[in-house]
Amino acid sequence: MIEATSCGGVVIYRGKILALYKSYKNRYEGWVLPKGTVENGEEYKETALREVKEEADVNAAVVKYIGRSHYNFAIPEDVVAKEVHWYLMTADNYHSKPQRKEYFVDSGYYKFHEVYHLLRFANEKQIVERAYGEYMELRKARMWGHPRYF
């Protein structure tokens, strides 16, 4: 078994959540959250911000760490055990542009109930639920966008 670590972001702007549509040679299709592999010497938070920028061309800011998810997948020679660390993030506009070289063909910001039903993987749905709950609590406390989180 190969162990791998990735980091990603749940980016929320004006109550809407960023999602990307990936289409790989008509074999893999689905909506996902931006995430990617930690590079040597990178902090997890840095990885998450870099991946959001690379995959969606979004300049995000981390609000807080919201947890991790685990899943396994098979590759021809082995099984990969993946751990993903997630951050709640904000952006300052709705701009996004999918990274074509990684097979992302669409991106955008969607209402919670829309993105929840669009997302392909159950673990990402759970992370979105947690992130959106945190977002709503911060808004209720009038702390969303507060300088303390940046």
* DSSP conformation class of 102: G
pLDDT at residue 96 above 50?
yes
Is 3.90.79.10 the CATH classification of the domain at 2-149?
Answer: yes
d(CA 3, CA 111): 33
Is residue 106 pLDDT above 50, yes or no? yes
Using only C-alpha atoms, the chain has a radius of gyration, in whole angstroms, of 15
Domain-wise residue ranges, the chain: 2-149
Q: What is the DSSP letter of 94?
A: S
Mapping DSSP onto H, E and C, the string for 130-148 reads HHHHHHHHHHHCCCCCCHH
Scanning the structure block, which residue is given the tokens 């991946």? 51
At residue 93, does pLDDT exceed 80?
Answer: yes
Q: What would the pLDDT profile of 15-36 be if each residue is shown by its tens digit?
A: 999 999 999 876 678 999 999 9
